[in-house]
Structure 1
């Protein structure tokens, strides 16, 4: 008796019928199925990335509180004792034979700068520093930047008698004539300078700091050696950290550099303001009366 096909005594492979594993393998081996599976996976990954990226960006922005404005608001006023009149300011008024008439204005730094006056020998500034929101900004350093020399113009000197300075704000001194001028805090009790220019003052929108800056041409008043016969132009830079990020805010004279002049002038070209009734007088005339 002849036989054909599979012998009746054979057994199918383990795991079920003999056709299921073979079909799965053939399906996985099918190029169309593999391409479709890859496309589906790629689409899922693309959708996931497109969903997560905006969320990550929003989270980063919220963490660092990014905005188009700097975290510091800084305003500048001039002259120690809050720019009060008759308080020791001196200015060079270029291309003039006599100081300008103040009219009804007080003879103070604000008026002098508006009349094109250049600070003579020193520039006194008050920086009011405030945070732009409730998050703390750490002020780490104040330094002189963009320092350069320009020719000294011809002109006349106008000034006011001295009056001393108030001690109710943090006071800093800088000597512009040094090779690398630093801005150092002055201890009000010991009258000694800090050894380092590193600071650690915090400001917010509700907590402000007021810094009084004396920028001198040289350390010794009326020193024999001049720094230069020139005008020093300069700006201030405030280094800070905010939410772990470092930044710098540049402070200047409404977009222009601060200016401090050094030189010598004859007594005939130096005037003091003696009041609205008597006006400008030469130093020699003032000394006779005082």
Structure 2
């Protein structure tokens, strides 16, 4: 569960927290009892009620209100207070961005200085093109319209200078924008050009090239391009939105920093306890782990969200695991993000044993207070109205494994494979057996031996 954290509570945040406490006090349950019923950590619920954090999603707040017996009028008021609290927590960030924009604009000498005081492009000067004449002020037009005229004239002068500097081809014909032509024929550009490099957005197939080690495009016919996100930092967070790949009939996003039940997770860090900061909130795990050079310890939880782009069903045919590297477990210390989680809800997931020579994604059923939650059986259908979140739990005990997922799909006679990885890099999971393990003591404000 995501939340905004900040030091101190503002007015709207305090009002929202007070309403949560009022609902909680009308029950005879403790924070721990309510948290178990809601499937969240006790400390997380306490931060919400104390005004130290605001959930980014209203769904847990709505479940909390229903559990406390809130009336419809109280639920509407709670939703209104939640919107105001989220807006208040976001306000300092927006103000900081606006201040930075004003500082840049002031350093440039006002809105017109960046355009009117800009130097003549280097290409235009070398070609001997005269600078564009100053545009006289047009009566009745605001400054931003006059700036468009100046920018247009400057761009035209620069383009004229660069075209004048281009050498003429042997046959007396000037090269086109797409490349040199011959005999007046248009040249072939894009993926159809012979010898053109493969686009990064194409989905790699099962084979790997010796030069790069990355999977190459599958030669099978009727395969649609998948999506491989651009490279990011290690242990990157979810992209923040559905991945958009041209031609795919569905959108998807991935979160590689999910914690078990929202609170339990281990990281391996090559630093002593006195040099490791306190554990972050779950939504801040990605930057915290990247700053510490942390590696997932023991297991990696990956949340894959898939939703169709229309009402036409997309069939998810199979979910496969590919291990691209094995090494000895990482040396360092294991740091537990919590002392353990308690809850009555266990989500369904795909279990992966990375220690196997050929690991597979095995569907496992979940449980909701004793009621079984059926496992996701492939093939599985999704559409715009029926999205699905696939949870993959990959465990490693004897290796430092680098791996990624492949999702096969089909829709209306089309088939394809999407590579799911960690921002362009393989996921990474290392065993923690035999490593010193620590947990954070919130009273002593320091890391201590795990008990």
Whether TM exceeds 0.5 here: the answer is: yes
The CA deviation at 1:240 is 0.9
What pairs with 1:195-234 in structure 2 (closer than 5 Å)?
A: 199-217=378-396, 227-228=397-398, 230-234=399-403
Partner of 2:314: 137
Query: Any idea what SS the aligned residue of 1:113 has?
Result: helix
Instruction: Give the RMSD, CA atoms, in angstroms.
Output: 3.3
What pairs with 1:55-70 in structure 2 (closer than 5 Å)?
A: 68-70=246-248
Aligned 8 A contact 1:76 1:126 in 2: yes
What pairs with 1:203-282 in structure 2 (closer than 5 Å)?
A: 203-217=382-396, 227-228=397-398, 230-267=399-436, 270-275=437-442, 278-282=445-449
The CA deviation at 1:169 is 4.4
The CA deviation at 1:273 is 2.2
Partner of 1:58: none
Query: Any idea what SS the aligned residue of 1:110 has?
Result: helix
> Of 350, 357, 368, which aligns to 1:179?
357
Q: Call closer, same or farther: CA 1:91–1:65 in 2, change over 3 Å.
A: closer
Aligned length: 202
Q: Deviations over 1:218-260 (max 9, x none)?
A: xxxxxxxxx53x3100001111112122211111111111111
Q: Does 1:74 align with 2:243?
A: no
Q: Does 1:125 align with 2:302?
A: yes
Return the TM-score normalized by structure 1: 0.59
The CA deviation at 1:109 is 4.3
Looking at structure 1, the residues matched to 360 and 374 of structure 2 have their Cα atoms a distance apart, in angstroms, of: 11
The CA deviation at 1:152 is 3.6
**Which structure: larger Rg?**
1
- Gap regions ≥5 residues in structure 1: 1-63, 218-226
Q: Call closer, same or farther: CA 1:206–1:182 in 2, change over 3 Å.
A: same
The CA deviation at 1:91 is 0.7
Partner of 1:150: 327
Query: Any idea what SS the aligned residue of 2:277 has?
Result: coil
Looking at structure 1, the residues matched to 386 and 294 of structure 2 have their Cα atoms a distance apart, in angstroms, of: 34
Bigger proportion of residues as helix = 2
Q: Call closer, same or farther: CA 1:117–1:266 in 2, change over 3 Å.
A: closer
Bigger proportion of residues as strand = 1
Q: Call closer, same or farther: CA 1:164–1:72 in 2, change over 3 Å.
A: farther
Q: Deviations over 1:101-149 (max 9, x none)?
A: 148x426743553332111111112211112333221011111124321
Return the TM-score normalized by structure 2: 0.40
Aligned 8 A contact 1:80 1:212 in 2: no
Looking at structure 2, the residues matched to 89 and 68 of structure 1 have their Cα atoms a distance apart, in angstroms, of: 35
Aligned 8 A contact 2:264 2:341 in 1: yes
Looking at structure 1, the residues matched to 342 and 317 of structure 2 have their Cα atoms a distance apart, in angstroms, of: 29
Query: Any idea what SS the aligned residue of 2:366 has?
Result: coil
Partner of 1:31: none
Aligned 8 A contact 1:172 1:183 in 2: yes
The CA deviation at 1:89 is 0.7
Moved more, 152-161 or 252-261: 152-161
Higher relative contact order (CA 8 A, sep 6+): 1
- Gap regions ≥5 residues in structure 2: 1-222, 226-244
Q: Call closer, same or farther: CA 1:91–1:238 in 2, change over 3 Å.
A: same
Q: Deviations over 1:195-228 (max 9, x none)?
A: xx960221122321012211112xxxxxxxxx53
